[in-house]
Structure formats: structure tokens, C-alpha cells
Structure 1
Amino acid sequence: MLNRTNAFLQHWMPYLTPISVVLGVTIFSSLSSISYVVKWVFAFISFASCIGLNVKELRTTLTKPLPVIIGMLIIQGVLPFIAFVVGKALFNDDPYIIIGFVLAFTIPTGVITLMWVSIYGGNRAVTLAIILVNTLLSPILVPFTLNILVGAQVEMDIAGLMIGLLIMVVIPSLLGLLANQLLKNKHTSILSSKLAPFSKMAIFLVILINSAVVAPFFKQMDGKTIILAIIVFLMACFAYVTGFVIAKLFKWDDSVAISLMYNSGMRNTGVGAALAVSYFPASVAFPTVTAVLFQQFLASMAGKIISKYVEKKQKKIVLLQRNNIIMTKQKTF
């Protein structure tokens, strides 16, 4: 029963996440009164997500760590800076929107990235390494990046941000990894499969609550909010392209390129919205909650596009090999 429920939620996630946003903005807008529970719900999500990770896969990245390093530079350096430049150029009169825009592309990549990478043939070891490094360093990197880019504009609770990330992401993730190592593989997989559907339900609850908090901004849609939503969407598309193109510039194989594409394009939007709601005015959460609307849809579309690219590439290689064989036979005769 739990496995069927998990499969159902996983299959329909690209559609259920935007539906959750709509429900949070409309029918369940009163859930904003319990926004304080979000960090604890997300702590459970982090624990449940990490308990099923196969840490042994990391061994293959130890000898060749460059893709992980480049991935981290893209996630925590290149994209936040571009987000700041774009936000500053378009919303210079609203520092909180700029913070929200930068935060949306500064928060760490999520464990759900591993699911999409696995579906579309990416490198799991590289992805897992980036997720773990990004997660464990997030209490330092996220506040540091925000402080460097937008700290001069608005006073921020840096200590609060660090504590929030520790509670929501780092500590429960470490506990999940510890449980993973202490339990035998069989018990780990059983526990992980039992927690998986509840973890996904918890994600939808977080989305509902965070959407309820920013409901006033959705209900008072104007030209500015529409433009912001479009810019967030375009920036997310750009992030996917950036990860893939940079991987190809380094001449890495398609599996590594797919991994960098997803790690660059997908962010832990639940954490971002929770941080925004907990430590900033509600308007800061708007860009991150907007990203929730299309994140899973974009992940699905990116996978389909890249699958066609890889398929065409493989067909060209096969055709080239056949032509070479034919030419070799002709020369022989």
C-alpha cells in the first residue's frame, strides 16, 4: 500500500506541486497561522530523504572531484551572482524582492534531484556528492552569499539563517546518514520505502503552508508580480542550460552533464521558502514559492529534451560506425 502510494505521488509530483501552491493561496490560506511548524516538518523530510542514500557510491568521486567542485561553484557562485544582477537591474526599488530572487538561487540543491538524475541516466555518484557537500555547507554558504550580495541593502539575521539550516537540513540529514550506516542494507531500504510516501506528503504540506503565507501577493497580482514570475521561470531555465553547457565545455560525458544540469536547475525550494518565511518579510518568499510552481515540470521537460539529445547523439555514433565498417570492407576488396 505504501509503495503504491509513493509511486503515485512520485509520478504525479510535477502536477501536484503547482496544485498545492494554488490550494495554499486559495482554500488553505489560513494555514499561514501555523508557519512555525514548517522547519520541523522539513527536518523530517531531510531525515527521510537521506536515510535511503547509498553513501558507498561516493567512492567513485574521490579520485575525480572536479565535477563536484565545478557544480558547487555554479550553485553557490555563478547563479546567485547572475540572480543578483538580474534582480538589481529589474527590481532595484524593492530590496526584499531582490533578496528573495537571490535566495531562490542560493539555497542548496535538494535530495529529490537524485530521483530525476536516476530517471534520465545521470551520474548518481556526482549528484550524491554535490547534494551532501552542498547540504552540509549550506549553513555557511547561504548566509555568506546573501550577506555578500544583498547584506548592504537589508539587515539580516545571519545567525538565525545558520540555525534554521542546521535544524531543517544539516542535523536531520546527518542523522539520516548515520541511521543508514548503522542499519543493515535490508533494514535501511525497508525504512526508507516506508518513510518515502510520508516524506512526499510532508513536502506538499510545506508547500501549502508557505503558499498560504504569500497568498496576499498572489491575490493582488499586478504587472510587477507577473514579470517577477516570468523572470524566475527564465532564470530557472537558464540554470539548467548553464549546468549542462559548462559540463560539456569540460568535455565530460553525458551522465555527468545531466547531473550538473539537474543540480544547477533544481533547488530545495521548500527550505528557501521556509527560510524566507521565518527570517524575512513575506515578500521575500514570493520568488521561491513561484519557483515551486514549475520546478518539477521543468525537471521533467529538461529530462525529456536531454533524452532526445542523447538518443540522437547515439544514433549518429552508430551510423558513423556503420559507415566506417562499410568503408573498411570496400578498401579490403
Structure 2
Amino acid sequence: MGIREALVRVNGALEKIMPLITPTAILVGVLSGTRLTAYEWAVPWIFAVMTFVGSLKTSFADMARVLRRPGKLLWLLAILHVVMPLIGWAAGSLFFSDDPYVVTGFVLLFVIPTGVVSVVWVTIYNGNLALTLALILIDTLLSPLIVPASLHVLMGAAVEIRTWEMMKGLLWMIVVPSAAGMLLNQWTKGSVNRTWGPPLAPLVKVGLFAVVAINGSTISGELRHADARMATIIAVTLATVVTGYLIGWAVSSWFRWNREDSVAVQFNSGMRNLSAGAVLAVQYFPPAVSLPVISGMLFQQVLAATFGWRIGRSLGKGEDPAGLAAPGSRESEERRLSL
């Protein structure tokens, strides 16, 4: 077996344990104490590589197809950047009115772009991949404007927001590598993703583990000495994230969208690029802002697997929650495993 085939198999094994990767990484970061904080400088670089690899499957053609009929895309953007940030702000203000930094954390949790890893779950459950890729691309490119602006609108002068530094960080970590990956995919007419996507895909999972562990280390003190307040933060985070999935389900049911669109809308309404949010929280805010974002990492993949099982039962896809047992050609398997 060659190196390429071995890496594809490794990626398949990592994909099977996706629900466990981020909670385990947080545990490693917490148990490491502050020892991993020495590697905090590497986090933006790791994240830039992850974003580049993930964007290799995106092209201008994918975006153009969705933009011809942008209704579902606009609904998703409204859920992501109007409805959910307001819910996050309201929940944070209701339970933590005495701590503007925790409230800011709940706002940040829902103003960051949708998660690239949603591609995995949408692909597993045969959702609208073109809609997902177009959303990720547009949401990513707009993030340097949307994230600081949303924080300013919802938090005002309650906390100091380093707008320009945050915009530069988003440009470097997300926009530039995304644009580079998309242009490379377009230039090679998709061959770069077919050739290098599957063997490079394990880097995304390993990078995700490293980023979460390092960021978990930076707030290990708060997590190791969790109290009733921390338990409340985790509970409120869980409830608000679940609300995102339910809103996606309600909107797709209301409009009676087809199965593929419904799958894409539900996953993308519920998932966020939490590793990017953690990087922003750690680098540009006091530690308390990180708590809701890190809390979301505890169960994002578990929730995705849970809602995927429910989606599979309600919309007619089988009983294999990981979607890894379904037979198919080598090409289709590699495409599915490419992130």
C-alpha cells in the first residue's frame, strides 16, 4: 500500500472518531496546564494550513451555481449572522448580565463563520454540497467585516474590540488561504483536490486537534477549577447551539425544501468554525471570552452526529451514522474522505 492510500485510510479512521477529536483535544490541553501555551504562536499558521486544505474543494463554479438562485444562501446567512448572534447575545445577557466578557463570548460563538467541517457531515448525509461550499466561501470572505461589525453592534462600548487586529487575523488565517485554495482548484480544474485532497485531509483533523489543545491550555485554569458558573456556561452554550439546528430544521420545513437542501441548511445552521473562534478569543480578548467558544467545542461534533442520526431517520438515509459503511467507487470514497 502506497503513502497516498495509507493517508486516505488514516483519514477514514479519523473521520470515524470525529465526535471525539475536539473533546479529547480540550482534555489534553487542560491536563497539560500552561505547558502548551508556548506554542500559541503556531496556532494562526496551523489554522491557515487547515483552511487552505479545506478550500481546495471549492471553486468559482460552485459559488456561481448557487448565486444564480440565492434564496437558500440568503436564508442561511440570515440565520448565521442575524438570528443566532441575537440569540447568543440574549442568552448571555440573561444569564451573565454581570460579566460583559462572557456575553461577548456568546456573541462571538455565533458571529464566526460556519464550520468547514460541516462539509463532512453534509457529504455523509447526501446534502446539497454546492450550497454548503458556496456558503463557506462567501461567509469566510465576509468574515473580516461581519465579525468585528457584529461585535460592535451587539456589545458596543461594553468591551474593548481590537477591530483592525482582528480583521488582519481573519484575513491571514481564513481569507487568504481560502482564496489561494479556491484559485488553485479553479486553475487546475479540480485536479488538485482529486489528487491531493484525500492524502492531505488528515492534516485538517490533526491540525484541529492541535489548535484546540493549545487553546484549551490557555484557559486550563478556568476549566480545571470548573464551578457552578462554568457549568451554567456549558449548559447555556449547549442550549443555544441546539437552537441553531432546530431553526435550520424549522426554516427548511416551513419552505418545504427538498432533502438535500434541508440537510445542508440544518448542519450549517448548527455548526460554526469554533477553532477560528477560539483563536480570535484567545488572541484578542480576555480569557473569559473564550469560555463559551471552548464549551461549544466540547459537543459540536457530538451534536452533529446526533442530529445527523435524526436527519437520517426523518429524511430517509440509513442507520450508519458515520456513513462509512456505504459501498461505492474508489473515486467517490476519496471524494467523501477529502475533508
Per the alignment, residue 277 of structure 1 pairs with 282
SS at the partner of 2:316? helix
SS at the partner of 2:69? coil
Q: How far apart, in 1, do the equivalents of 2:131 and 2:186 lie?
A: 20
Is the aligned partner of 1:168 residue 2:173? yes
Range 161-170 or range 119-128, more displaced = 119-128
> What TM-score results when the alignment is normalised by the length of structure 2?
0.89
Per the alignment, residue 197 of structure 2 pairs with 192
SS at the partner of 1:105? helix
Q: 1:208 aligns with which of 205, 208, 213?
A: 213
Q: How far apart, in 1, do the equivalents of 2:200 and 2:288 lie?
A: 33
Q: How far apart, in 2, do the equivalents of 1:174 and 1:63 lie?
A: 21
CA-CA distance at 1:4 after TM superposition: 1.1
Is the aligned partner of 1:122 residue 2:117? no
Is the aligned partner of 1:300 residue 2:305? yes
- For 2:154, the aligned partner's letter is L
Q: Which of the pair has more CA radius of gyration?
A: 1
* Alignment gaps of 5+ in structure 2: 1-5, 318-339
Per the alignment, residue 6 of structure 1 pairs with 11
CA-CA distance at 1:302 after TM superposition: 0.4
- Report Cα offsets for 1:111-162 as digits up to 9, x if no partner: 1111101111211111111111101000000110011001221121011111
> What TM-score results when the alignment is normalised by the length of structure 1?
0.90
- Note if contact 2:58-2:137 (Cα within 8 Å) is conserved in structure 1: no
CA-CA distance at 1:28 after TM superposition: 5.7
- Report Cα offsets for 1:72-109 as digits up to 9, x if no partner: 01001100011101111110100110001110111101
- Report Cα offsets for 1:183-231 as digits up to 9, x if no partner: 2533432122221111211110001001001111111211111011011
- Note if contact 1:28-1:208 (Cα within 8 Å) is conserved in structure 2: no
Per the alignment, residue 52 of structure 1 pairs with 57
Q: How many residues align?
A: 312
Identity %: 37
Per the alignment, residue 219 of structure 1 pairs with 224
Q: How far apart, in 2, do the equivalents of 1:87 and 1:279 lie?
A: 19
- Note if contact 1:109-1:267 (Cα within 8 Å) is conserved in structure 2: yes
CA-CA distance at 1:279 after TM superposition: 0.3
Q: How far apart, in 2, do the equivalents of 1:157 and 1:59 lie?
A: 34
Per the alignment, residue 41 of structure 2 pairs with 36
Is the aligned partner of 1:24 residue 2:26? no
Range 113-122 or range 59-68, more displaced = 59-68
| RMSD after superposition | 1.4
Is the aligned partner of 1:153 residue 2:158? yes
Q: How far apart, in 1, do the equivalents of 2:89 and 2:210 lie?
A: 29
Q: How far apart, in 2, do the equivalents of 1:6 and 1:55 lie?
A: 26
Is the aligned partner of 1:238 residue 2:237? no
- Note if contact 1:29-1:211 (Cα within 8 Å) is conserved in structure 2: no
Q: 1:76 aligns with which of 81, 84, 87?
A: 81
- Report Cα offsets for 1:33-92 as digits up to 9, x if no partner: 221221111011000100133553334323311000010010011000111011111101
Q: How far apart, in 2, do the equivalents of 1:125 and 1:184 lie?
A: 16
* Alignment gaps of 5+ in structure 1: 313-333
SS at the partner of 2:160? coil
Q: How far apart, in 2, do the equivalents of 1:18 and 1:121 lie?
A: 26
- Note if contact 1:92-1:98 (Cα within 8 Å) is conserved in structure 2: yes
- Note if contact 1:101-1:287 (Cα within 8 Å) is conserved in structure 2: yes
- For 1:190, the aligned partner's letter is T
Q: How far apart, in 2, do the equivalents of 1:287 and 1:233 lie?
A: 9
- Note if contact 1:108-1:134 (Cα within 8 Å) is conserved in structure 2: yes
Is the aligned partner of 1:143 residue 2:145? no
